[in-house]
Every structure is written in structure tokens, then in C-alpha cells.
Amino acid sequence: MVEALLDIRDLKTWFATEDGLVRAVDGVDLRINRSETVGVVGESGCGKTVTARSVLKLIDMPPGRFAGGQILWQGRDLIPLQAAEMDKIRSKEIAIVFQEPMTSLNPVYTVGDQIAEVLREHEKLTRRQAIERAVEMLALVNIPNPKMRVHDYPHQFSGGMRQRVMIAMALSCRPKLLIADEPTTALDVTIQAQILELMQEMKEKFGMAIMLITHAMGVVAETCQRVVVMYAGKVVEEAPVEALFGDPRHPYTQGLIRSIPRVDRAAVHKERLEAIPGTVPSLLTPPPGCRFAQRCRFAKDVCTQAIPPLKEVSAGHFVRCVL
């Protein structure tokens, strides 16, 4: 097997709160190969974002801490790295795009200055060169009239445009992995499609890998090669995208797929959208056994006794379920 670009092994990120220890990420394994798009899906609060931030070590410590596991970046563990070494990896090797394009840009600098800052920091360009590169990057992400817009402030851009700027900024140092943390959640549907298309285009151009965090199954089906389904801080299913949608094994994944809104059915057959009953269990006191058991319609006694192991049902398709 070729060496993975990013190999997260048994990662545990816990937070000490006043109520006790929150095991937000509790033993997650995740591999991303070169030039691969991996989707990470799951409900709010299942640990997707914490996993992503752990990779870049953006978790505030305290209250957070790594309770175990490794984050292997091209074979090198990131967890013990010092802040200065981590700064070199950020954006040059791994870049991230956040959910909120409206607030992710500094309001007091022009977008050109902000893109240029990254370039000057990491590639030691002069100001003039950096601004030129910023113009190129803006053109690349389809900002009209980049020569003029490079001198504009973030408040002069719309939400979709700002997300483009964020992507331009993230890609300006040609990272090998782009982590997109719900990049389209705050945008309207047509803009969402444009941004996804843009990311796909950039991926092909630069040959980078993408870790796409989302709760929109439709987005996953469209863009990803492999999908990891997370539930309550654990990976419950991992499969190539065709296998996941064609043959979902875990009851939670099945529920997720059934709860995708279908415009045609809702309008024509007046069908009500199916939802998974119940909510994510508290991560303060996770139930013993399968964490999905309380909400699972197939739950048996054995489910509540021990956490089922991740087993391979077909090539590359792993499920954490006794069924």
C-alpha cells in the first residue's frame, strides 16, 4: 500500500469542561491519499470539525488535549511538533477553509494584503511580487476584474466571493491537502454549486487532496471518492462513495441517506421527510457499547454491551456494526 498523505490513527481529542471530560473525538482512524477527495459526514456535534482542527492543531489547549493517537503527515507525527514547526506546515502543506466566509477575513486589510501576507510569510516574496501572485490567485478563483478587486476590503465582497477569496488564500502556497470545513453551509444553493465546482477545478489543477467536511450527503455524492461517516466521536462507516450510497451498511448511514430531502417526492407524493429519531448521546457519559444503539431500530442486547469493532465487509468498505 502506498504511503498515505495523511494518516490519522486512533486520534482522541478530549476537552475538559466544568461538567467533566468531553470525548469529542474518541479513537478516529482516517486516511487520505494523494489527490483524493475524502468526505467526512455526520450530524452536528459528532466530531467532524474537531477532527479537522486537530489535524492543524487549532484546538485551544487547555481545555482541549490529545489523549492519544497519532496524526501522521507523510509519515511524520504532527502531535509532538512545536508551534514554530507547525506554523510551517500550516498553509504550505495543509490549508483550511472555514464555514463562515463573512467573518473569516480581517475587516481592516484589503483582500490582496491578506493573500500577500501568507505569501510573504511562507514564500519570502516581496510585497510587489506577492500582490501580483494575489491577483493571479483571485483570477484563478474566478473573481472578475482581479486587478481592481485585489485592493478592495472584505466588506465590499459578497458571501460567495469571500469564500472564493478564502479558497484563493488557502491555495496560494499550493498546499498538498485542503481541509474544507463545511465550506458551503453558509452559502445559498447556486453559490454552493459554484464553490464545489471551483474546488474540484483547483484540485485537478494542483493535484491536491481534499478533506471535505459536510453534513450534506448530496455534496458528498457529487465530489468525493471516499466517505467517512462519523457518529458521536467515532467512525461508524467508511467506504468508497459508490459503495456507501449503493450499499450502506450501518443503520446510521442508512438513516442519513434516507433523510436527504427529495424535492420531487415531497412535492408530488406529499411524503414527509424521514428523520433519525432521538439526538446524539452526550459525549460526557457515552453509553457503553454502540453509541448509536438507543436510536437504532435494529438494536439488540449485544449492541449495548461492547463497542463493535470496525470490520471490513468488502474491499475498502468498513462498518462498525454487529449486523
Partner 1 sequence: MPGSTPASLSAEAPAVPAAAAAAKKPRFSPGLEAWRRFRRHKLAVASAVILLGMILAVAFGPLVWRVPINEIDFAAKLEGPTLAHPFGTDDLGQDVLARLLYGGRISLSVGLCAMLVAAFVGVLVGALAGMSRGTVDAILMWLADLFLSLPQLPLLLLVIYLFRDALKSAFGPEGGVFIMIVIVIGGLRWMPVARLVRAQILSLREKEFVEAARALGASKMRQVVRHILPNALGPVIVAGTIDVAAAIIAESTLSFLGLGFPPDIPTWGRVLFDAKDYLDIAPHWAMFPGAAIFLAVLSINFIGDGLRDALDPRRVL
Residue ranges binding partner 1 (CB under 8 A)? 56, 58, 83-84, 87-92, 95-96, 98, 100, 103-110, 117-118, 121-122, 144-145, 148-149, 151-153, 155-156, 166, 169-170
Q: At its nearest, how many Å lie between partner 1 and the CB of residue 114? A: 8
Nearer to partner 1, 149 or 203 (CB): 149
CB atoms within 10 A of CB 261: 10
Q: Give min distance, CB of 69 to partner 1, in A.
A: 21
In the block, cell 485542503 appears at 178
Name the minimum Å distance from CB 282 to partner 1. 24
187 vs 236, which CB is nearer to partner 1?
187
| CB 78, CB 89: distance < 8 Å | yes
Q: Which is nearer to partner 1, 51 or 253 (CB)?
A: 51
Sign of CA dihedral 276, 277, 282, 286: negative
Beta bridge partners of 71: 8
User: Residue 9 or residue 122: which is nearer to partner 1 going by CB?
Assistant: 122
**Selection from 39, 26, 27, 25 nearest residue 181 by Cα:** 39
- Whether omega for the bond prior to residue 251 falls within 30 degrees of 0, making it cis, is no
- Least Å from the CB of residue 156 to partner 1: 4
- In whole angstroms, the minimum distance from the beta carbon of 162 to partner 1 comes to 11
Which residue, 100 or 132, is less far from partner 1 as judged by CB? 100
Name the residue among 22, 43, 1 with its Cα closest to residue 236. 43
User: What are the backbone dihedrals phi and psi of residue 130, each rounded to the nearest 5 degrees, phi first?
Assistant: -65, -40
Q: How many CA atoms lie within 13 A of 125 on its CB side?
A: 19
Nearer to partner 1 by Cβ, of 31 and 122: the residue is 122
Query: Measured from the CB of residue 58, what is the shortest distance to partner 1 in angstroms?
Result: 6
Nearer to partner 1, 170 or 235 (CB): 170
Read off the C-alpha cell for 21: 471530560
CB of 7 to partner 1, least distance (A): 20
Backbone CA torsion sign across 177, 239, 200, 41:
negative
| DSSP helix/strand/coil, 63 | coil
